[in-house]
Structure 1
């Protein structure tokens, strides 16, 4: 009889302990928080804004970042009181308090506006020069005018010393170690092989090159490691104008190109030719040793090598600008 009472007491203690444990460690709740972050003056959506939630002790609970439309989603928040923080480079940090209840499983914070942070400066001299490479949120921009190769060579020569780009001796271009990328010329896809398209664009006709390593859905990037978008120079003056270049070098290296434009109001016609001849001489030395049982064979081969890259380019086109924007 005493043993039965002991078992009953142990069962009651176990149930009581389980109840206290469940109260101390609640399961994650299904509450979801959403909202849209925009720039205060223009009300344009801000991408990659940090959204962090803290508890009462200012310990980080969870966080996320806004997408390209400025929207964010945070799920699995337990009921309670929290602090939510919105921060982005160049903007004032915004902090709000939250009270999460199970009665409202979806908490929509609406539109959150961030103010640009004023940076006090003095004694600044503004010049019109752009940096050789600009790093933006979704791409790298190479300002070709600031590169020494802009007056000669091709787009391949401009890309040779750019991070994430490699060019072999034959002029083949790789983006992040892969040749599976797309080339756009003035935001239009090229029908040529990517390396061939870049080899046929004279550097003197390029304004800038955009390297997009994480393209959005509008580029249809499935299976691609990135996009190289070549933006050519535009001349908005009416009439006939043109440009030409002639380059000479050692070891049979020479190239030339010209581009002729005719523009009348919004109508433009252009015609261009280019020719490139690049010779790459070298020396090859091969020393081979072969062991077969008790016999060793030695072979020494020496010789000269020469690799030639020669190509022609021709362009003819016309365009009509529907809107200046």
Structure 2
């Protein structure tokens, strides 16, 4: 009789302990949360991918994306051991092992820091090509070296291709049907345009509305050769 009583008591105790020690049962799920930072400046890292892989099968189970403040939470995770992998563009990936069980169903992994990737970038030289004609607020600038037809010619040949400039049969130069004042390097000149080789000219500036710094008589505009 005593043996039967002890057997029943032992069975009841085992059931009671089982019910108290494992309330969630086999279907219990857990949660993992944390925050991701930039290792260099210690600022939160948004939109990083947080992936959870099975430690046994190395297969992707679930995942999440970090918020704008770097926080992430992964819920409804079956209790087991996992490999937590964090990746973000421009940073080295981070891998850490985590374990969810009945005593740690809600796991706080704390702050995770990602280091920026070190990439060797080849130096690239970028050379800006100037247009033949550049429009500026107070003038138009003709880059003579871009005028193929003027190569080997004179300043007169370069002026023939300048917008708004007309060269007559007697080499008379007009700007919008008016007679402009010709400047060379910012000073008025009486030189014939046939005396100046086009290869020696960098730019021709066409100024239709001269400012006060120019002569008052320059109402017909100014052509400045530099």
Short-chain TM bin = 0.3 to 0.5
Which TM-score applies when normalising by structure 2?
Answer: 0.43
Which TM-score applies when normalising by structure 1?
Answer: 0.30
Q: Which structure exhibits the higher relative contact order, with contacts defined as CA atoms closer than 8 Å and separated by 6 or more residues?
A: 2
Higher relative strand content: 1
Q: Which is higher, the Rg of structure 1 or of structure 2?
A: 2
